[in-house]
Structure 1
């Protein structure tokens, strides 16, 4: 299949963003292109149109490529549940939970099969594949059974471009060291180098380019700028560090509880577009401060994160804040945490069947963790009982193992979805909100309504809604335009065409 793979000298060098930009660049050039990452490890996932679960990065890359995301673009997704175990999502559905050792010893052959199958399926629909590796391709203790870097490039028979992050320092050592650890055959597959996250005057790096090309014999195909606040959805919890580094001085402060196993943290990104809002991540009681609202995000391990909140002194802080009239919203695992009791019926959340844990008790509800995970796209409106505009459409997606049953008859469901399904919790005139709906705050009308109630409560002026949804296409186009300025696209195309000619049957 025609295409190439972006590998990195390490984790978080910007591979996903580069692939996203290249997807938009090539589709704008008339190429029918698809993103591909054989194995992803992330708790920030994306639900496809048919209700399957893949890595969020590949869903975003599909949007950039102007195509519908599918399980073939990310056939294997690993969702960490603890330091040792991960849930294995295979072709969009939960396969089983395995330890790192168990995964390497029992899953490798099945992994190769599904990777081969996914490559064949994508080749039927697309002309071009932009592949993404993971971490470093030269982790020598893992390399013999890896399913995401050079082994996959070999299976697809595509050239590799090696990306490195100059912002973290040590760029020359990371590039040359990676190349030195490749086998001779692997090194022959590397046809280009990309320097990412460059700050300052590009002309000052010309000597660096010369050194790398002379030392390695491999062309530098681009020195890409550090793009801050690009607003493209992040892939995983590494993005929390990016959020924490943002300096905003908005008058309305939202405390986001930083859970160890936080998932789908992209739920809060729309607030970055609200000029008067500051997001602040809180890890323990000492960081509580004086928030105007609190959000408890989703989590891949609800009970463990609830136990963490108790140890960190945050349970008391959140409960007191709510009792004093504060605004608290829990999404997915955060919704479960707000309830009275959590019961791990099947052991799917903790590994201990029948384990019970007391929640925060802000919602009179019990959550039972079952064996089967729900992954669905959801569309609906506000529930008529909460007295809001019923014509406002709501959409998002649900990914959860738990079923939450609310026993407080005085409260109202938050939404009513297709087939008249009621969902969520709306209590205390909207001060306490719980829902399984990820991307809740990506709905501009809901976000604006929620923020305006907080603004009114703390004496700030009301604001008009910010149309974040309409900005998505603009963000993809701007990213592509910016990256294209610094990429040698003509040379990249020539390398790919030459590779295809040299490796096809004559």
Structure 2
């Protein structure tokens, strides 16, 4: 198999970003390339065209590679639903919920088999595979039964490059320490090092490069600069960040509820490219204040996270904010929390059959959790009575809850989907919106309408639509150019196509 594995000294060093850039560079050269991550642990997911679920990073990498995302690119997805358990998604469908120990004890052989099946499938369809590792390849307590780093590189027989983040400090120790903890066979597979997130004058780091190459006997392929807002969706919670603006007086303050098991937080990413929008995360009632709007995002465990909001006073603060006519949007699990009641008869959300909870009672509706998850790409238009106009709304749904709203004056569905079903709830002329549509704010015209309403309420001037969705494909080419200009691409390309033994 021709390809490369991108592994790192730790989480959030930029593995996904670099793998995405390599996918686009190879695609630009006319090479049929596919991304691959054998096992992903993330609640930030991506729905394939056939309605199956994979890690979001591999879906984005498939877009960069100009190919359709499939379950073979991420055969195992672990979605944490508590500190002890995760939902195991196998080839795009939920298999079961397992504890970490049971996963290691019961799933390992099955995992190896599906990984090999996936590699065989991709090898037949593509010229090269760009693989991504997870966390660090030398987690000693997990290494003997790992399904995502050096074991998988061995199965595919591909070379590996090691990525380190210089911005967090300790780059020399992290590289040398990682290499020291690899076996001699594993270490021989490492063919290059990339330093990521460098700030400042690169000439001040040349001695560091020389030292690394002398002490590790592995070439430093390049040093990538720190890139702000590269528009490549993050994989885990370490990748999302606040965006606070203090210099401009005419700024919209949007508070995002930071749920313990937050999912699909890429829903918020378009706001990072609106110059007058400030994003801050709130975890307690005292932090809420009086924002211009509140967004309650999705979650892998609605009832657990709702209980946490009640515990830290944020539930009560949100109720008071609503009573003061605050603007609120709840997406998926956030929509469910806004309801009057929530019921889990099968234990699908919590593992506790028959659990019932009172919601925030912002929307007159009830949610019942079902046994089967719904994962579909969705498209629709605004429900006619909302009076909203504009482009078709596109996105995706991932949920087990079914919500029934109590339609009355001033309360109606939000969207009318192409399949004839109604979605969500539209309250008080859009002051409160609940929806199952992930990526709602990636619809540029809707985001513009919603933000302009907030601007008018504040007495600010309205702004023209910022079409950031058209920027994304250009962004893939931009990060490919950055990669090629800061890395010895000729050497990296030889590593990819000459294999692990060269």
CA 1:441–1:248: 2 relative to 1, 3 Å = farther
Equivalence map 1:11-50=2 (5 Å): 11-50=11-50
Instruction: Tell me if structure 2 keeps the 8 A contact 1:369–1:401.
Output: yes
- Give the match for residue 232 of structure 2: 232
1:353 CA drift (Å): 0.6
Matched, 1:396 2:395: yes
Equivalence map 1:171-250=2 (5 Å): 171-240=171-240, 242-243=241-242, 249=248
CA deviations 1:274-321 (Å, max 9, x no partner) are: 122111111112211220111000001101111111111111221111
Instruction: Tell me if structure 2 keeps the 8 A contact 1:236–1:265.
Output: no
- Give the match for residue 258 of structure 2: 258
Runs of 5+ unmatched residues, structure 1: none
1:248 CA drift (Å): 7.3
Distance 1:248 1:189 in 2: 49
- Give the match for residue 72 of structure 2: 72
Deviates more, 1:147-156 or 1:285-294: 285-294
CA 1:267–1:3: 2 relative to 1, 3 Å = same
- Give the match for residue 63 of structure 2: 63
Equivalence map 1:90-489=2 (5 Å): 90-240=90-240, 242-243=241-242, 249=248, 251-389=251-389, 392-410=391-409, 411-489=411-489
Distance 1:282 1:428 in 2: 25
CA deviations 1:395-431 (Å, max 9, x no partner) are: 0000001111112333211111122111110011110
Distance 2:285 2:277 in 1: 22
1:499 CA drift (Å): 2.5
SS across alignment from 1:460: coil
CA deviations 1:300-350 (Å, max 9, x no partner) are: 110111111111111122111112211100000000000001111111111
Distance 1:412 1:290 in 2: 26
Runs of 5+ unmatched residues, structure 2: none
Instruction: Tell me if structure 1 keeps the 8 A contact 2:263–2:299.
Output: yes
SS across alignment from 2:79: strand
1:475 CA drift (Å): 1.3
SS across alignment from 2:237: coil
1:246 CA drift (Å): 7.5
CA 1:248–1:160: 2 relative to 1, 3 Å = farther
Distance 2:168 2:34 in 1: 30
Instruction: Tell me if structure 1 keeps the 8 A contact 2:2–2:498.
Output: no
SS across alignment from 1:419: coil
SS across alignment from 1:305: helix
| Cα RMSD after superposing both structures | 1.4
CA 1:457–1:247: 2 relative to 1, 3 Å = closer
CA 1:453–1:49: 2 relative to 1, 3 Å = same
CA 1:417–1:20: 2 relative to 1, 3 Å = same
1:478 CA drift (Å): 1.3
1:497 CA drift (Å): 3.3
CA 1:440–1:472: 2 relative to 1, 3 Å = same
- Give the match for residue 88 of structure 1: 88
Distance 1:496 1:49 in 2: 29
SS across alignment from 1:420: coil
**Residues paired across the two proteins, number:** 500
Deviates more, 1:470-479 or 1:131-140: 470-479
Q: TM-score, normalised by structure 2?
A: 0.97
CA 1:71–1:436: 2 relative to 1, 3 Å = same
Distance 2:404 2:127 in 1: 48
Q: TM-score, normalised by structure 1?
A: 0.97
